[in-house]
Amino acid sequence: WKDLVLAVWRAFDRRAVSAGLNLKSVGFIFLLYHVSLFFIEYKLRKRSLLELMLTNRAYLTTT
């Protein structure tokens, strides 16, 4: 996930720089990229915690 988002944003950033966008918009894109990465990591961490809790509960009910 993280590598995919990184590759997409890098390509977009290169295109933005080659198009001659000003530094402010490139900074905004960079900020947006970090926010999206944060949300992806948060969702993945949340899902893995949920799976851990569910497997723990399943283990406790079987023993």
Q: What is the pTM of this model?
A: 0.39
With a CB cutoff of 8 Å and minimum separation 6, the contacts of 10 are: none
Number of domains observed in the structure of the chain: 1
Segment 6-61, tens digit of pLDDT: 777 777 766 655 655 555 666 777 778 888 888 877 777 777 777 777 776 666 66
Contact assessment for residue 30 and residue 14, using Cβ atoms and an 8 Å cutoff: no
Domain membership of residue 6 as a residue range:
2-62
- What gap in Å lies between CA 17 and CA 43, rounded to an integer? 30
Distance between CA 18 and CA 63 in Å, rounded?
Answer: 61
Tokens describing residue 39: 């949300």
